[in-house]
Amino acid sequence: MHIESVDLFYLSMPQVLDIADGSQDALLVRVRAGGHEGWGECEAAPLPSIASMVCPMSHGACKPVQASVLGQPLNDITDIERIHRLVRLHSFDLLQADHTLSGIDMALWDLMGKKLSEPVWRLLGYEQSQPKMPYASVLFGDTPQETLEKGKRAQTNGFRAAKFGWGPFGRDLQTDIAHVQAAREGIGPDGILLIDAGTVWGDDLDAAAARVPILKECRATWLEEPFDKEAFEAHQRLAALCGPVKIAGGEGSHNAYMGKHMIDYARVGFIQIDAGRIGGITPAKQVADHAVAQGVTYVNHTFQSHLALSASLQPYAGLSGHTICEYPVELKPLAYELSRNHLERDANGQICAPDAPGLGITLDLDAIKRYLVDVQVEVQGKVLYRTPQVD
């Protein structure tokens, strides 16, 4: 079979707020081939990704993404990696292409899984989909008391792990100490405590190092994004100081090399990959393989729909030692409603990548229509993109 169509759908909440919540809009990708259909989702600004899909060619190494996808043969899963290489070769100088490719790659895996009646994780070579333990991701409170209450609430809601981040954290040492202690107290002595610094220290090693004693004392499992994501040396030096507290990072990686560099040069102990940014499931799996080889733990990064969540779980679904997963708990209605089924927590509070063909997620076309954004892009009087029909 050949790829007959690749359609992009831009969805948005009626109002998008200036907060760090990536579920306020979405760019869905639908691929059709040989009577089958697959869906994916880009973690990206929808309009630039649409433009990268349909733009006129700039030169031989700066072609629109669709030039390497439309009409391509798709007969087995090796074709996905081949198409991947084509996009990276022909859109070499088109920066946005990696984000656009992410949703396309997911849709190709979903389509092949449905065609072969296999879950994607099995096509990736895993025999089982291992249960993952979701952590509750919350902002630090404005006061340590609020942080304490948020920790208690996470525990009450059945979360054995909680991540606290952003808010007031990172500016005043004594305040940070109080918040980390409150977070530990809130989730209880057995809870898994994760701290997210949201790149607050730039590349200032001393600022980060000053927090290491309290992180050790409160038995934090990881310190996430202490620095700019590319500040390898600062990461590496901090990792050497942290002992049992591991550094976590990698969500910004937009190709497999970048994810591997976070392991090899930044020396993270937890590598966090967003399949919606790194170029899809294909490069994410390469990073997972490298993590296993290097003794580093893989974790998904996901702040979007359950379609994106399923896609982000696939690359490490079969890795039994890699149990923590990010699980978006406060999704905007758009991101929750766009699928009919969801990855619900079981009696143990755990989730699994679905044991169902493809990504195992059924889209809700009526919901998609409700949030669909009408876009038209014209160049020299010719319409290059117009929001396609959902059905």
Q: Give the SS3 label for residue 367.
A: helix
C-beta separation of 342 from 77 below 8 A = no
Q: Which two tokens stand for residue 322?
A: 């890699």
385 φ, ψ to 5°? -150, 135
Rounded CA separation 336/26 (Å):
11
Q: How far is the CB of 251 from a copy of itself (least distance, A)?
A: 9
Q: How far is the CB of 313 from a copy of itself (least distance, A)?
A: 21
Per CB under 8 A, does 381 bind a copy of itself? yes
Strand 246-249 and strand 3-12: the pairing is unpaired
Q: Out of 11, 29, 33, 55, point to the residue binding a copy of itself (CB under 8 A).
A: 55
Per CB under 8 A, does 21 bind a copy of itself? yes
Query: Considering beta carbons, is residue 129 or 305 the nearer one to a copy of itself?
Result: 305
Rounded CA separation 61/386 (Å):
25
Burial of 213 (0-12, 13-18, 19+ CB in 10 A): exposed
Q: Which two tokens stand for residue 152?
A: 């208690």
Q: How far is the CB of 299 from a copy of itself (least distance, A)?
A: 18
Q: How far is the CB of 203 from a copy of itself (least distance, A)?
A: 9
Stretch of residues binding a copy of itself (CB under 8 A), selected from 31-39, 109-117, 225-233, 293-301: 225-233
Per CB under 8 A, does 127 bind a copy of itself? no
Q: How far is the CB of 88 from a copy of itself (least distance, A)?
A: 9
Q: How far is the CB of 62 from a copy of itself (least distance, A)?
A: 5
User: Which residues in the 60-99 window bind a copy of itself by CB under 8 A?
Assistant: 60-64, 92-96, 98-99
**Sign of the C-alpha dihedral computed for residues 330, 324, 99 and 38 taken in this order:** negative
Burial of 350 (0-12, 13-18, 19+ CB in 10 A): middle
Q: Out of 48, 131, 188, 349, point to the residue binding a copy of itself (CB under 8 A).
A: 48
Mark residues 257-296: x for contact with a copy of itself by CB under 8 A, - for none.
xx--x--xx-----------x-------------------
Per CB under 8 A, does 20 bind a copy of itself? yes
User: Which residues in the 287-346 window bind a copy of itself by CB under 8 A?
Assistant: none
Per CB under 8 A, does 208 bind a copy of itself? no
Q: How far is the CB of 369 from a copy of itself (least distance, A)?
A: 14
**Which residue type does 144 have?**
P
Q: How far is the CB of 164 from a copy of itself (least distance, A)?
A: 18
| Count of residues that bind a copy of itself according to CB under 8 A | 62
Per CB under 8 A, does 379 bind a copy of itself? yes
Neighbours of 143 (CB within 10 A): 15
CA 1, chain centre distance (Å): 30
Q: Out of 3, 8, 25, 122, point to the residue binding a copy of itself (CB under 8 A).
A: 25
Straight-line distance from the first to the last Cα atom of the chain, in angstroms, rounded to the nearest whole number: 21
Contacts of 390 (CB under 8 A, 6+ apart): 9, 365, 368, 369, 372
Query: Considering beta carbons, is residue 42 or 183 the nearer one to a copy of itself?
Result: 42
Strand 36-42 and strand 133-139: the pairing is unpaired
Neighbours of 157 (CB within 10 A): 12
Contacts with a copy of itself by CB under 8 A lie at 12, 16-22, 24-25, 43-52, 54-64, 92-96, 98-99, 228, 230-233, 252, 254-255, 257-258, 261, 264-265, 277, 373-381, 384
